[in-house]
Amino acid sequence: MAETPEPQPVRPARAATPHGAARVEDWVHERRERWARKRGHRPTVIPYSGYGSTEWARILCRVLLSRPVSEGSGSERVLRRRQRRREQGIRGWRSFTSVPLGYVTVRIEVDGTVIEVRSDRGGVVDAVVPVGLTPGWHSATLTAGGSAPVEAPIYVVDPAVRFGVISDVDDTVMVTVLPRPLLAAWNTFVLDEHARIPTSGMAVLLERLANSHAGAPVIYLSTGAWNVAPTLTRFLSRNLYPAGALLLTDWGPTHDRWFRSGQDHKRVNLMRLAEEFPDIRWLLVGDDGQHDEDIYGEFATRRPRNVAAVAIRQLSTGEAVLAGGRSKAEARRDTGVPWVYAPDGSGLADQLTELGFL
């Protein structure tokens, strides 16, 4: 009996000619995909933590082609360990060398509601599912192209909640101590979550904030690539940071430019969260190396009713040099939003306590 052929991704028609770099990247991806399929690689869904309200859920994941877990010899225990690692995400440099599967159909099931969506050209899915859920943690079951089902956590925010936390990652919850041009490569290709250094006092600060405001959502908003999301999730869990959604970005060229803008990524998601949760006032946590003050200041000016306060971790002189300097913007505009500054989580906690947030 002939084997049923595996469904292939359907490439969408494009209304306009994409940027030359994007066309080159698509050409490379298509050839790598054909090569991977010939070697027997199969679709794998890497789930990310999402969030939602009692009426909808934002589902985040990425689809890659990877070698099946069952390949090769090994005991049942070894195979179970391989499967567990696969569910946690493809690690380190393999997360960048794995082939993204663009324009493939992903099946999402949440509490009996099933919808199908398409991944983007980089294999990323960022979809909103209309579904009624109770406040608290839930999960969505994700499959694509015959892949094994995986569970994506979703935090559903109670409609009565009026406070939330949005935090940067690099140099805010994690000490990087590297020049910016080398930071991404080092964190991605060299370090695992055991070798990364948590910022002093920040885990305690964020955990105290989460405990002091029952049901408060915690969002980690970073310019990092989706490829490192599983490693970052393990780092946050291992260092006792409160669980929350990760909002990262996809590196590389876009339809109309050479590289995605990390600053635009933050601005867009801040405005999106303000629109999705208009009654929540957010504590914005970042650092003074480069752009957080600019971005948070702009957001506080545009949406002051959605900002409870801004907490900025001050980098040491050495960290600031490596980060490319400190922000020179006059971010503290006359919006009525309090700003606090300190070199660690303990100093920020003291000032936030004085303001009544702890």
Closest among 317, 264, 285, 308 to 172, alpha carbons compared: 285
The pLDDT of residue 335? 74
Q: pLDDT tens, 195-245? A: 568 999 999 999 999 999 999 999 999 988 888 888 888 889 999 999 999
Q: pTM value?
A: 0.81
Check if the beta carbon of residue 245 is closer than 8 Å to that of residue 155: yes
The pLDDT of residue 176? 67
Domains recognised in the chain with CATH numbers = 42-66+75-156 (2.60.40.10), 163-354 (3.40.50.1000)
**The dihedral sign for the CA sequence 96, 149, 48, 234:** negative
Coil, helix or strand for 275?
helix
The pLDDT of residue 89? 46
Residues of the chain with pLDDT under 70: 1-38, 40, 68-97, 176-196, 251-262, 290, 317-334
The pLDDT of residue 157? 98
CA terminus-to-terminus distance, the chain:
67
The pLDDT of residue 232? 87
Closest among 286, 334, 332, 337 to 313, alpha carbons compared: 286
The pLDDT of residue 357? 97
Distance CA 23, CA 20 (A): 5
Residue identified by tokens 């990262």 is 248
Q: Extract the tokens encoding 327.
A: 């922000």
Count of residues making up the chain? 358
The pLDDT of residue 325? 46
The pLDDT of residue 30? 65
The pLDDT of residue 145? 87
Distance CA 294, CA 229 (A): 25
The pLDDT of residue 315? 86
